[in-house]
């Protein structure tokens, strides 16, 4: 069995075994916070380090000398400067922050890429993906585990075609990323909405009514009394989800629910970093300006030690 399908089966089995009637399923895709630390530069730059590097990578810089931190930061700046004009703009910095925060997605794609690029040509065709993922189903059209793999394959093919911008049924790594993580790409959001509606819309009328909405989150399982959170979700559906008050959610209302327009934390942080580092106030940063403020961007043994002294003084 393909690793992806094995993990899917295991997660489904685990969910079945561990789920309780009062647990709430969350289908809403939120932009994650950049850091779990308080953003207070007067206290420390820990939030900025997590935002700029990602929390795990930020820890590695705390082990470096200032000179080593500056050297590695300089190399990062070269990657951020996408058009190689010698400046880092707010947009380039925002894109980098989003990349750093979602590095796990790209690592996941790298792992899956190796198992699906069967001819090692740097591309993944639909045939390669289908054979690697569903080959055993094609050999055994009636597997014992009861999953409808043919239906899953049809759904995957539709999503693959949506991700494949040029329509040649061959995915570049970027297109393959959009296929595996469609919620991260604007042009894939319609397929995320469509798949969600298909999952919840049990009577297949093209809408999600109140009982379908609640039924996706909660199973009565013979209990007459609903938990408070279920009652709250009923109110949310009536007051906020069903915007036109027709008793059901259409595609646009479903999209507003599962893909809300969140505050752009990455852009706010990018503007903050530029404001704090832009010595000549031209609205963009040179490598020198960034490296001069290395303690704001990445930290080092010295900044980590300094912050430890501040915390010690507070006690």
Query: Taking the alpha carbons of 60, 63, 66, 71 in that order, is the dihedral positive or negative?
Result: negative
178 versus 137: which is more confidently predicted?
A: 178
Question: What is the rounded average pLDDT for all residues in the chain?
Answer: 85
Confidence at residue 2, expressed as pLDDT on a 0 to 100 scale:
46
Q: Which of 24-33, 95-104, 194-203 has the lowest mean pLDDT?
A: 24-33
pLDDT of residue 24: 52
Tell me, what's the pLDDT at 226? Answer: 85
3-state secondary structure of 208: strand
| Nearest alpha-carbon partner for 62 in 45, 78, 76, 87 | 45
The backbone torsions φ and ψ at residue 218, rounded to the nearest 5 degrees and listed phi first, read: -145, 135
Closest CA to 291 of 98, 84, 80, 91: 80
Is residue 68 pLDDT above 60, yes or no? yes
Q: Confidence class of residue 23 from pLDDT cuts 50, 70 and 90?
A: very low
What average pLDDT does this structure show over 75-88?
A: 95
Q: Name the band, by pLDDT with cuts 50, 70 and 90, for residue 3.
A: very low
pLDDT at 18: 36
What are the Cα distances from residue 189, in Å, to 97, 170, 179, 182, 214? 21, 20, 11, 7, 23
Tokens 């570049």 belong to residue: 172
In angstroms, how far apart are the furthest CA atoms of the chain? 69
Using alpha carbons only, what angle is made at residue 214 by residues 212 and 218, rounded to the nearest 5 degrees?
120
Angstrom distances, CA of residue 197 to CA of 110, 171, 249, 254: 30, 26, 9, 8
What is the pLDDT confidence band of residue 242, given thresholds at 50, 70 and 90? very high
For 38-42, 224-228, 310-314, which range has the lowest pLDDT when averaged over its residues?
310-314
pTM of the model: 0.69
pLDDT surpassing 80 at residue 32: no
Q: What is the pLDDT of residues 120-151, one digit of tens each?
A: 999 999 999 999 988 877 666 565 655 678 88
> What is the distance between the alpha carbons of residues 62 and 308, in angstroms, rounded to a whole number?
12
Q: Which of 103-107, 274-278, 296-300, 303-307 has the highest mean pLDDT?
A: 274-278
pLDDT tens digits for range 271-294:
999 999 999 999 999 999 999 999
Q: What is the mean pLDDT of residues 215-242?
A: 88
Look up tokens 């685990």; give the residue.
14
Greater confidence, 102 or 268?
268
Tokens of 242: 């069903």
Determine the pLDDT at residue 25: 60
What pLDDT does 39 receive? 92
The CA distance from 127 to 67, in Å, is: 50
Q: Do 75 and 300 form a contact (C-beta atoms < 8 A)? A: no
* 239 vs 261, residue with greater confidence: 239
Q: Is 2 left (phi over 0), alpha (psi -120 to 50) or beta?
A: beta
Neighbours of 269 (CB within 10 A): 22
């Amino acid at each position: 069995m393909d690793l992806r399908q094995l993990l899917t089966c295991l997660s489904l089995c685990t969910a079945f075994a561990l789920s309780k009637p009062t647990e709430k399923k969350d289908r809403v895709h939120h932009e994650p916070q950049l850091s779990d630390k308080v953003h207070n530069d007067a206290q420390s730059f820990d939030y900025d380090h997590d935002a700029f590097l990602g929390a795990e990578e930020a820890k590695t810089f705390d082990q470096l000398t200032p000179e080593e931190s500056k050297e590695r930061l300089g190399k990062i700046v070269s990657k951020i400067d996408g058009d190689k004009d010698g400046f880092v703009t707010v947009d380039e910095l925002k894109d980098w922050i989003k990349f750093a925060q979602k590095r796990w997605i790209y690592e996941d794609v790298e792992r899956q890429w190796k198992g699906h690029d069967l001819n090692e040509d740097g591309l993944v065709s639909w045939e390669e993906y289908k054979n690697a993922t569903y080959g055993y189903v094609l050999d055994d059209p009636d597997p014992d585990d009861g999953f409808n793999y043919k239906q899953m394959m049809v759904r995957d093919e539709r999503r693959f075609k949506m991700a494949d911008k040029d329509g040649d049924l061959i995915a570049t790594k970027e297109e393959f990323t959009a296929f595996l993580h469609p919620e991260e790409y604007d042009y894939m959001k319609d397929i995320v909405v469509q798949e969600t509606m298909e999952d919840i819309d049990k009577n297949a009328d093209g809408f999600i009514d109140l009982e379908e909405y609640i039924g996706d989150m909660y199973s009565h399982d013979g209990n007459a009394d609903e938990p408070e959170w279920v009652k709250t979700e009923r109110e949310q559906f009536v007051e906020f989800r069903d915007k036109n008050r027709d008793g059901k959610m259409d595609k646009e209302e479903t999209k507003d629910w599962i893909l809300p327009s969140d505050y752009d934390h990455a852009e706010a942080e990018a503007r903050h970093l530029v404001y704090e580092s832009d010595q000549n106030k031209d609205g963009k940063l040179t490598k020198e300006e960034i490296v001069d403020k290395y303690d704001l961007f990445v930290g080092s043994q010295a900044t980590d030690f300094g912050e430890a002294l501040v915390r010690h003084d507070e006690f």
